[in-house]
Chains A and B, each alone.
Chain A
Amino acid sequence: MFPVLQLGPLALQLPGLLTLLGIWVGINLIEREAPRRKLPAGTLSNMVFFSLLGGIAGARLGYALGFVEVYAKDPLGLISLNPHTLAPFEGAVVALIVALIYGQRRHLPLYPTLDAFTPGLASIAIFLGLANISSGDAFGAPTKVPWAIDLWGASRHPSQIYETIAAALIFLVIQRLKSRSPFPGFIFTLWILLTSIGRLFFEAFRGDSVLIFDGLRSAQVVSLVFAVGAMLGFHLLARRQHSADAS
């Protein structure tokens, strides 16, 4: 694992750098995909930009809400470059809300917009896998398989590599099928389905799973819900298209 890239006196945090690189590549792919869906590329870029901005602000405020007394004594502490004082879940919720509001105000059609985002999201998943390889996060369960890696005091499944390869394969499938969507929303729903199935399978090799109900891996439960939701989505979207074609 290589969490820090030392460039002379500069110690660059590689996982953060890879995540930023992933976002940059993702935005580029979204901008390239937008015209294919007859959407304004600039508007989609702005959507990402405002979502990121809202997400960061939401993540910082969400974190601060947990420590009101500390931040009340030093409100300037809210303005900080420290990524450790961010609450990811709250940030993601705010980012999603900002995206929805922005999309609605700009009259962006929901399903073509989601399809335009999909190649970008699929590429970001690859970079998140690389960031995990670099940081050693999302580590595997102890194992004796010949390709095990020594990490965090044990021989483990290289789960970060499994997930990066899975993300890359999903990205290739998306790239191959994106121009053959039978109905709006197909590519996005396919990505959700493939990603959920991938996570459902590879979570079994993880060593850091959050356990619920005395032994169920929470990520597998969530993945299963998303996979079922995606299949249901396929059914509903196809029926909607069929009705539209018929009329």
Chain B
Amino acid sequence: MPTSATTGGLIPSPREGFLAPDFTLDLIGGGQVTLSELRGDVVLINLWTSWCPPCRSEMPAIQQVYEANRERGLKILAVNMTYQDSESAAVEFTRDHGLTFPVLLDRTGAVGYKYQLRSLPTTFFVDRQGVIQQVILGGPMSEVTLQTALETLLSEEP
């Protein structure tokens, strides 16, 4: 991302060049995750529901990319839009697909609202400084799309 005249990653907003809006959510299986505590890692935030076909299709690719890159500092936050879904369906989907990355539950829609969710799935690629570097509306994303979008971010020094 080139240097911008006015953004500089300081204002939280869900678009390229801006600081990723912070959130804290419950995890499936217990515990919580706060986005800002992951500063220093590359974070892929995927907003999804269990009933959305492209969300379902791209999850295996996300799992593959996670396994290939987690040692390089990749964190994945799969945020289930639970207010449009059901918690039990999200849990079942996670278990059936053997997802090993954190799956978060947005029960109130707060994250969907902060990230101006307009299309499912929507994926945000956040660099080590917490700045969004790419947004992909819709899906499904292939492994190649995911890997190339992450490659530059992962190769930056922590």
Contacts and interface: CB of A to CB of B under 8 A. Distances in A.
Given A154-B11, A208-B6, A84 B145 contact: yes
Contact of B151 (A70, A82, A142, A153): A70
B148 A63 contact: yes
A244 interface: no
A85 B7 contact: no
A154 B39 CA distance: 24
Contact of B147 (A70, A80, A84, A208): A70
Nearest to A63: B148
Interface in A1-36: 3-4, 11, 13
Interface residues of B, number: 28
B34 interface: no
Contact of A13 (B11, B134, B137, B148): B137
B144 A77 contact: yes
A142 B4 CA distance: 13
Interface string B45-75: 0000000000000000000000000000000
Nearest to B53: A9
A210 B118 contact: no
A85 B11 contact: no
A85 to B, nearest CB: 6
Interface string A33-77: 000000000000000000000000000000100110011001001
A64 B149 CA distance: 11
Contact of B12 (A71, A141, A142, A153): A153
Contacts, number: 81
Contacts of A152: 7, 11, 13, 15, 18
A3 B2 CA distance: 23
A110 interface: no
B148 to A, nearest CB: 4
Interface string B114-142: 00001110000000000000101110011
Residue from A4, A77, A153, A210 having most chain B Cβ neighbours under 10 A? A153
B138 A210 contact: no
- Most chain A Cβ neighbours within 10 Å, of B17, B136, B137: B137
A74 B4 contact: no
A66 B150 CA distance: 12
B104 to A, nearest CB: 22
Interface of B: 2-7, 11-13, 15, 17-18, 118-120, 134, 136-138, 141-145, 147-149, 151
Interface of A: 3-4, 11, 13, 63, 66-67, 70-71, 74, 77, 80, 82, 84-85, 136, 141-142, 152-154, 206-211, 217
